[in-house]
Amino acid sequence: MASMVIPCIFFVQILAFASDSEAKVSAVIAFGDSFVDTGNNNYIPTLAKSNFDPYGRDFPGNIPTGRFGNGRLQPDFISEGFGLKSIIPAYLDPKFSISDFATGVSFGSASTGYDNATSDLLKVIPLWKEVEYYKEYQEKLRTSLGEKKANGVISGALYLINIGTNDFILNYNGINPQRRSHFTVQQYQDFLISIAENFIKQIYSLGARKLSVTSLLPLGCFPLERTMNMKKPLNCLEERNKATLGFNVKLKATVAKLSKDLPGLNVFFADVYDLLFQLITKPSDYGFEVVEKGCCGTGLLETAVLCNRHSPFICPDADKYVFWDSIHPSQRTNKIVADKLLPRLKQLFL
């Protein structure tokens, strides 16, 4: 039997370190916010944490990892879909080493945004710092694998970028009145787009060639935003959705422009707005029963420290809910989105 195991291991190693010319995805690397943070915020002094029950209730081993949800996130499912590992480790997690990160890692930080003022609100990792960690990661990778193999991982990796939600929910429409006083919604969109463009150019200059940039979701339909709708209680805030769609249009155009302007760059715009809107407006078509609130607590306001084991009510089956808490999708929603994206990602990057 041993003679059968060795070739399998060797084949996995070939996949992990495939060169760009072989068109293999060597790793899945994530930048962004809580939609891709697999535990980095556990290791910084912030209130934006989820490393306690009932978070992770449906995660393998039923443990809270720092993921904002009841189980796995989209990067986990996408990595698994590419034949890589099913769990993407957080870069700051000391349990993992560079050998673990060689086939996938997340630099994401819950509550961060494109705007540095967004990350300042809850003292989380700003996007520029995620890039600094990525540079550090590259140095470690080259030390561990050697220049040639490390460059193959870097250029062959699929980079998942999911960020921007907190710039609107937490910052512009949330607890930072300065942004609203200095920018119209359209001006703030443009401000964020300029940061997004510079960010993509920066990681491109560092060797990233395969990118998936995720659109914003229908933010006005998040349970937290529904709760704030005083005119039509628990209905979606249409003006918030309109602002989200406007941002998505600009982001899509920027992604298309960069794909043309930067040689060798292949960027996929992962527009998941319509899919989430379908889940929310026609939940029974997908087997969901509850959309206006999350599974944790009342489901209307709770997230992070407010979603805890002492919450007065936690639903028995999160699979019936589109949202786990007042902001974050349930594990089942994450899997539906990942399954929708995977065929197109494979078509482009395999």
Per residue in 217-250, pLDDT (tens digit) is: 999 999 999 998 888 888 999 999 999 999 999 9
Does some domain include residue 333?
no
Residue with tokens 């499912």: 77
* Residue 1 falls inside a structural domain: no
Count the domains in the chain: 1
Q: Say if 229 falls within a structural domain.
A: no
Q: Is 109 a catalytic residue?
A: no
pTM for the model stands at: 0.92
Q: Is 335 a domain residue?
A: no
Per-residue pLDDT at 23: 52
In a domain, 285, yes or no: no
Q: Does the residue 247 lie in any domain? A: yes
Residue 341 lies in a domain: no
Task: Kindly name the residue from 33, 79, 115, 328 that is annotated as catalytic.
Answer: 328
CATH number of the domain residue 53 falls in: 3.40.50
Among candidate residues 26, 33, 34, 215, the one labeled active-site is 34
Q: Which domain holds residue 259?
A: 25-219+238-275
Q: Write down the H helix ranges in the chain.
A: 2-16, 74-81, 98-101, 116-121, 127-145, 147-156, 165-166, 177-182, 185-205, 223-227, 238-261, 273-281, 331-349
Q: Is 120 a catalytic residue?
A: no
Active site residue 34: yes
List the catalytic residue out of 37, 58, 167, 325: 325
Q: What is the pLDDT of residue 310?
A: 77
pLDDT at 17: 38
Domain membership of residue 91 (yes or no) is yes
Q: How confident is the model at residue 299 (pLDDT cuts 50, 70, 90)?
A: confident
Percent of the chain at pLDDT above 70? 93
Going from the C-alpha of 346 to that of each of 39, 185, 206, 212, 285, the distances in angstroms are 26, 35, 23, 11, 26
